[in-house]
A and B are shown apart, each in its own frame.
Chain A
Amino acid sequence: MFPGIDGFHWTVGHVVFLLLFFAVASTILGTVASAAWRTAHDFRSHHAIDLCWKADFAELPEADRRCRHELSGRVISRTCDNQFDCRTCQNYSHFAVLPATGVTQDLGLDYPADRLYHRGHTWAKPEADGTVSIGLDAVADHLIGPPDSVEVPEIGQQLDVNQIAWRVRKNGKEVRVRAPLEGTVISIGGREENWSMKIRPRLDVQDPKTTRHLLRGPEVHGWISRELERLQLQLRPAGTQPTLADGGMLIHGLIDALPEADWNTVLADTFLEV
């Protein structure tokens, strides 16, 4: 086929045929190449992170993708189409003007009002010095209990919102905890502070838009009660009645208490894992 190969003669047929073939072949290879190049480009321009979160978000079950305004009762039913990022949500203001309904009811869980909550069961607390403390919330705490091990980021590491900030291991299961905010880790608490860490956020915390995507007030309540319902259903032994019908207390370290439950699903649902 190439010059110098004995006994091969070119014909018009060859030219046409080979041109066609190479056109096709290069199209195919070009496709792969461009896909690869775009991938590399996404990584360089930090798009990769968003894309991953987008993809994961798309894989989340319907129930996990409710809009915060549905949780707060401002709307009857709405599926978030913005990967939980209210900062870029064009409808946010439109919903925000509506008053939140529903009364606050103690669920026997400690959700301080001075904190903002992420759907991956983490809280964020803006400090006076402009830093933010973040940590696992009560539900997560109760589910996991004292972890076997924790894998925390290094000091100075960049955290991205919705990306895996740290990992908690318990009974051979890994919980991947998503970060509520983007920023730089500046200090990490020990076991007693339950590894809650301080970060310096990339954006100004005083600007409300920075934390707009995090839940607060009535939304928290709606969200938690939904979460508890889900847990009831998922954790009840087969054929028994819901255990928390009366809104009874979650026991600490539930994962040890109910070893036979399908924790893969429970943890995945709880921590927005795909």
Chain B
Amino acid sequence: MSARYGMVIDLDRCTGCGSCMVACAAENNVPALPQATARTGLTPMLVRRLSNGLEGNLGREAFIPILCMHCEHETPCVHVCPQQAVEVDAATGIVMQMPQRCLGCRYCMTACPYHARYFNWWDPSWPAGMEKSLNPGVASRMRGVVEKCNLCHARFHAAKEKAAAAGRREIDAADYIPACVEACPTRAIRFGNLADPNDPVAQEAHSANAFRLLARIGTEPKVYYKSDEAWVRSMAEPGEQSGSPVRSADNSRNQSEVQHV
């Protein structure tokens, strides 16, 4: 049976520490290039800051980890790539990027509404000797190709091999955990098989407070978010904020306790 790997990220538990970003970069041999900027760097996992736009002690902020959403329906990047460098793996539902086949036309990047794709503007390089510390499971990408989160496919591959060695066809769920999930100190990022109705993550994905970014575009992302706070959930769709910077903060939790100066 084929899996549909996905995530539920509990934004109420995300402290914005950035462990997931660092773990992801280390796992996938992302170079730390000094010349890279916020808009040219490689951040397959990127934690972004949300704010309810209010000042003073009414202000609230939250953090949202953004990674490839592994869209299921009319996956935008897969459809536009002129040479099949992006494919949806039927067995796992993972949207695979194949840098070795990428022309670097960046059409997929314009197609992705989540800005989860990154272009190698420079050749990768590391301080002398540091290449010894690279993860042997993942090849480094050259300049001029696009890359993104592939749910630590190297780990999936390793799990597969382990299963094969043990004569099993299905992998052991415990063997395949993406680096960001493993790293999250508050277990805010949860990873599981959405196709398995018994999987707690699959169940959580359908809980009341779960939502997906830009769901109305209809790309069926497999990365879910959840939050008890209405203003955080309102960040899912552009229409919700109705243009005004002030977003409806959830009063049920601590509005009464907020002190007024």
| Minimal Cβ-Cβ distance residue in B for A9 | B84
| Minimal Cβ-Cβ distance residue in B for A8 | B84
- Which residues of B in the span 50-92 have a Cβ within 8 Å of any Cβ on A? 84, 87
For residue A247, give the distance in angstroms from its CB to the closest CB of chain B.
Answer: 76
Within the assembled complex, what's the spacing in Å between the Cα atoms of A8 and B87? 11
Interface of A is mostly: loop
CB 8 Å contact bits of B110-123 with A (1 = contact, 0 = none): 00000000000000
Q: Count B-side interface residues using an 8 Å CB cutoff.
A: 4
CB 8 Å contact bits of B91-120 with A (1 = contact, 0 = none): 000000010010000000000000000000
Given the complex, which residues of B lie within 8 Å of A7, measured CB to CB? 84, 87, 98, 101
Given the complex, which residues of A lie within 8 Å of B84, measured CB to CB? 7-8
Within the assembled complex, what's the spacing in Å between the Cα atoms of A7 and B86? 11
Within the assembled complex, what's the spacing in Å between the Cα atoms of A7 and B97? 12
| Minimal Cβ-Cβ distance residue in A for B101 | A7
Within the assembled complex, what's the spacing in Å between the Cα atoms of A8 and B84? 8
Within the assembled complex, what's the spacing in Å between the Cα atoms of A7 and B101? 10
Within the assembled complex, what's the spacing in Å between the Cα atoms of A7 and B98? 10
- Which residues of B in the span 34-60 have a Cβ within 8 Å of any Cβ on A? none
For residue A69, give the distance in angstroms from its CB to the closest CB of chain B.
Answer: 66
For residue B91, give the distance in angstroms from its CB to the closest CB of chain A.
Answer: 14
Within the assembled complex, what's the spacing in Å between the Cα atoms of A236 and B48? 86
For residue A238, give the distance in angstroms from its CB to the closest CB of chain B.
Answer: 61
For residue B96, give the distance in angstroms from its CB to the closest CB of chain A.
Answer: 10
Within the assembled complex, what's the spacing in Å between the Cα atoms of A263 and B93? 80
- Which residues of A in the span 1-16 have a Cβ within 8 Å of any Cβ on B? 7-8
Within the assembled complex, what's the spacing in Å between the Cα atoms of A7 and B84? 9
| Minimal Cβ-Cβ distance residue in A for B98 | A7
Within the assembled complex, what's the spacing in Å between the Cα atoms of A7 and B99? 13
Given the complex, which residues of B lie within 8 Å of A8, measured CB to CB? 84
Given the complex, which residues of A lie within 8 Å of B98, measured CB to CB? 7
- Which residues of A in the span 83-100 have a Cβ within 8 Å of any Cβ on B? none
CB 8 Å contact bits of A1-38 with B (1 = contact, 0 = none): 00000011000000000000000000000000000000
| Minimal Cβ-Cβ distance residue in B for A6 | B101
Within the assembled complex, what's the spacing in Å between the Cα atoms of A85 and B66? 83
Within the assembled complex, what's the spacing in Å between the Cα atoms of A13 and B148? 27
Within the assembled complex, what's the spacing in Å between the Cα atoms of A8 and B83? 10
For residue B86, give the distance in angstroms from its CB to the closest CB of chain A.
Answer: 11
| Minimal Cβ-Cβ distance residue in A for B87 | A7
For residue B136, give the distance in angstroms from its CB to the closest CB of chain A.
Answer: 22
Within the assembled complex, what's the spacing in Å between the Cα atoms of A168 and B98? 69
For residue A13, give the distance in angstroms from its CB to the closest CB of chain B.
Answer: 12
A-B contact pairs, 5 of them (CB 8 A): A7-B84, A7-B87, A7-B98, A7-B101, A8-B84
Give the interface of B toward A (CB within 8 A).
Answer: 84, 87, 98, 101
Give the interface of A toward B (CB within 8 A).
Answer: 7-8
5 closest A-B pairs (Cβ-Cβ)? A8-B84, A7-B98, A7-B84, A7-B101, A7-B87
